[in-house]
Chains A and B, each alone.
Chain A
């Protein structure tokens, strides 16, 4: 092949052996460093501890003990330098998140840092954090750590201070969630947080209730028609109808009929059938058909949950 020398390709056995050697070496290094840190935990200078734990954690971000060591060290640092170190801590966690974006420890560490910084909070930091969330959600929109962190930011750290700002704040968040759902209907987190924010919006602006709920119904109906097999939208639909609208506001024409039409086009869809059974029960209509559906669900369509359906009859 090559002009100068013989080119040999490693066989898969050789590849495996090479990998094993690498792995063993990595493990040995890690264990020795870990031992070192633990023995010096109480006595060493906090800065030294921070340095040594940083090296280990960037390769192995899920080591709880080492994060504890870091927190202890950070608390020992004197008051004036504390802020800088806490901010630096955020960039350390960012590096660690790159190797595992779903590391419980890293996200927790970030939260802990922000909590410590509370009194000295600044707006740029907040924007930076939200930007980070957005980036991680783009990488994986179902990263529930990131979602939870985002809500921690919005709830705890930066809710609008004046009540006039609350309404647009909630609207903005609902927009963001709408766009997220638009990209992926199955994003359960997005629907879940949407329900939370809808609650808050309606508490804040009760006058908008019927308009908002009307639009919301259209949204969720669009979702279940587009993909009637995805459970996220169905859960939201049931929450909207029963917890938000309430029995009295449910109209046969507006709410029940479209679902009946969907049922005709897509028979034997367990979500649609269940939703209809619950609606018919609320409105005390179509009792016979309801019972018939529940029996079908129990015996043929969704036998795993047979008892659940039978209990409803």
Chain B
């Protein structure tokens, strides 16, 4: 299976998570030879999206056998990999619907066919369930990178059309633009002015203008601007999206990003990818392949190889004993090394499959809601349905996760679900929840870098709503590996500007042919 695969590369990337995929693309882009592998049979690692069948399969975790590889000579040291799936723990998939139609009693009440698991499984391919759901700020790091590198043409997005907040025990729309505030009926005139003033300041002032205020807690700064509790909560929770403990500087920067993002692609600051977040890692892998990178899934990886005298990583070795060497770097996720046992922090993720949206609407919506209070850390709630191609018509995926990881392993799934159900009232109740999928992701961001030369460790997702951490890490690691001013993900050329020349044909006005379709 591995015959024919070249043995020498500039870079080997292990894992197809977000950071690895961006890096693989960036290295291939500057002309380096890249081997990009994953032991899974799917792209994305912890950032993957699954159909319903694939998710159920993923939930059954298999143990991988320990492979022992012997060093080939006295200079080589073998470092076996850990099972990267260990980074996800306590996986539970619970259904509240019967397996098949025979199990249901046909009474008068359920004369219409009730939903069963095999009906859902038949529509498995219409599901795209994210392990790591995230949103994209229109003026944020990842969108800018997608546009700058032109990887954007491999993916499509929809606007997150509905932004909600908790008010008076109910879910209401977040007024964040001038038009929203103008049209709102429950903000007084003076409050409208004060709110607009703070919003305009967040947009136009720079951080330096804040002076001494910058270290003040954001909530105190907002109160200083004469905003009442309700409006303070609106800005803190739904525009800045920070906790009550945040400083003014933090709140300001995030508010600015939110406000700058409104209007770039529509009346909402966030985008959501069509077919789920898993598409993103694939888009970068595709760019890597276009520039000559080799993508290899289901790679039988056994270990890393090191030069014992120089403590340098020299490459990888497959279970078959075949070795692949690198010149510049081996990039891999912490999950492949034993270091994840050092992390105590977990992100608890909940996915609910429902047959009713959290709030009624006349049209298809992608909804985002942030729940928080003075003594509670923010909880992100994202709802997607048929619109972005993530669920069959009439069904919804409801993602819930806390922004900050927890150190204790307590399970607060029911508490979080209750919190939400209190706000949805009669519209969405427990009977609307058809299935519940929960798991813990070990947070690998913040783990120390490797002590082995030429081995660069990337991290998995965090609990934030955006991808900034991944983009920043990828950029930093790239500049560490190639510190001589190489450009990080320069714009890929447009097809019209590419001239295909055969060695026999030197006519340089001949341009497009079917090769360009691949680009």
Contact = CB atoms under 8 A, between A and B. Distances in A.
Interface string A11-23: 0000100000000
B190 interface: yes
Given A5-B500, A8-B508, A9-B498, A182 B182 contact: yes
Contact of B182 (A5, A6, A226, A266): A226
A185 B182 contact: yes
B179 A8 contact: no
Interface in A245-292: 258, 261-262, 265-266
A113 to B, nearest CB: 35
A7 B500 contact: yes
Contact of A223 (B182, B502, B505): B182
Contacts of A15: 497
A6 B515 contact: no
Contact of A6 (B183, B192, B497, B503): B503
Given A5-B500, A8-B501, A184 B179 contact: yes
Contacts of B501: 5-8
Contacts of A265: 190, 193-194
A261 B190 contact: yes
Interface residues of B, number: 26
A9 B501 CA distance: 10
B499 interface: yes
A146 interface: no
A279 B379 CA distance: 51
A2 B500 contact: yes
A8 B515 CA distance: 13
B446 interface: no
Given A5-B500, A9-B497, A183 B189 contact: no
B117 interface: no
B75 interface: no
Contact of A10 (B193, B197, B498, B503): B498
B497 A226 contact: no
A228 B178 contact: no
B179 A185 contact: yes
A225 B178 CA distance: 11
Contacts of A228: 193
Contacts of A9: 493, 497-499
A10 B292 contact: no
B275 interface: no
B179 A10 contact: no
B178 A222 contact: no
A2 B508 contact: no
A28 interface: no
Nearest to A219: B182
Contacts of B179: 182-185
Given A5-B503, A183-B179, A266-B197, A225 B498 contact: no
Interface string B183-202: 10000011011101100000
Q: Binding site of B, secondary structure by majority: helix, strand, loop or mixed?
A: helix
B178 A185 contact: yes
A5 B502 contact: yes
A146 B196 CA distance: 31
A175 interface: no
A221 interface: yes
Contacts of B290: 1
A222 B498 contact: no
A9 B179 CA distance: 46
Interface string A212-232: 000000000111011110000
Contact of A221 (B189, B497, B499): B189
A4 interface: yes
Contacts of B291: 1
B515 A4 contact: yes
Contacts of A10: 493, 497-499
A234 B192 CA distance: 17
Contacts of A185: 178-179, 182
A225 B193 contact: yes
A258 B189 CA distance: 9
A182 B291 CA distance: 49
Contact of B292 (A1, A225, A258): A1
A9 B496 CA distance: 9
Given A5-B502, A10-B498, A182 B508 contact: no
A1 B508 CA distance: 17
Given A8-B508, A9-B498, A227 B493 contact: no
B181 interface: yes
A184 B292 CA distance: 48
A197 B15 CA distance: 65
Contacts of B505: 5
Contact of A7 (B181, B197, B498): B498
A212 to B, nearest CB: 20
Interface string B149-181: 000000000000000000000000000001101
A266 B291 CA distance: 57
B178 A7 contact: no
Given A6-B503, A183-B179, A222-B182, 11 more contacts: A1-B291, A6-B500, A7-B515, A8-B498, A9-B493, A185-B178, A225-B189, A226-B192, A258-B189, A265-B190, A266-B197
Interface of A: 1-2, 4-10, 15, 182-185, 221-223, 225-228, 258, 261-262, 265-266
12 contacts: A2-B500, A7-B498, A9-B497, A9-B499, A184-B179, A222-B182, A225-B190, A226-B196, A227-B182, A258-B189, A261-B190, A266-B193
